[in-house]
Amino acid sequence: GYTATSALFWLPVVFAGLGRGALNYIPWATYNYMADVDEIVTGRRREGAFAGVMTFVRKMSQALAVILVGQVMQASGFVSKATEQSPQAIYAIVAVLGAGTIAMLIFGVLVSTRFRLTPGTHAILLEEIEHLRRGERTPSTPDNARVVEDLSGWSYDKLWGNNPVAAAGTR
């Protein structure tokens, strides 16, 4: 059988550590900018709401992951305090920690590429927020309008509270 010193055991553990690091870093790195996107849509700052939702989703997804991994390990014949595991249990560990981590990383990369926030587009977003705060209702430039529409998913005339999302928050 395989032991805890086997490369087949430690390789997935290393990948899991890398995945876990990315899991903790990437969402919180982008989270800081979500309130800016929300502000241009709603005309309000709601950082607290975002922090609450992020924390709730993180805790729920972690709880679900623990349940699912536990079910997979149990189905594979994993024995908690055993010094050696069966080949089925080792394969399950490799699948969960190796393939599972890689699959989640790929999923995360695909999702994150759809959000086109860069230092340049963020600067434009902040510029347009200030533009709207000054009472302007038309974009400062057509290029800025395109960037803001891409980031928010709304046409420029529906920004700054002129949409159902903002209206729902005032009820």
- Kindly list the domain boundaries of the chain, sorted by start residue: 1-115, 119-171
Confidence of residue 24 (pLDDT cuts 50, 70, 90): confident
Is residue 41 within 8 A of residue 166, CB to CB? The reply is yes
Confidence of residue 29 (pLDDT cuts 50, 70, 90): confident
Confidence of residue 2 (pLDDT cuts 50, 70, 90): low
- Report the distance separating Cα 68 and Cα 71, nearest Å: 5
Region 11-30 average pLDDT: 77
Confidence of residue 23 (pLDDT cuts 50, 70, 90): confident
Is residue 124 within 8 A of residue 36, CB to CB? The reply is no
Matching residue, tokens 């430039």: 141
Over residues 115-125, the pLDDT tens digits come to 888 899 999 99
| pTM reported for the whole predicted model | 0.71
What are 2's strand-pairing partners? 85
- Report the distance separating Cα 74 and Cα 145, nearest Å: 53
Confidence of residue 170 (pLDDT cuts 50, 70, 90): low
Matching residue, tokens 């803001």: 148
What does residue 153 show for φ and ψ, rounded to 5 degrees?
A: 85, 5
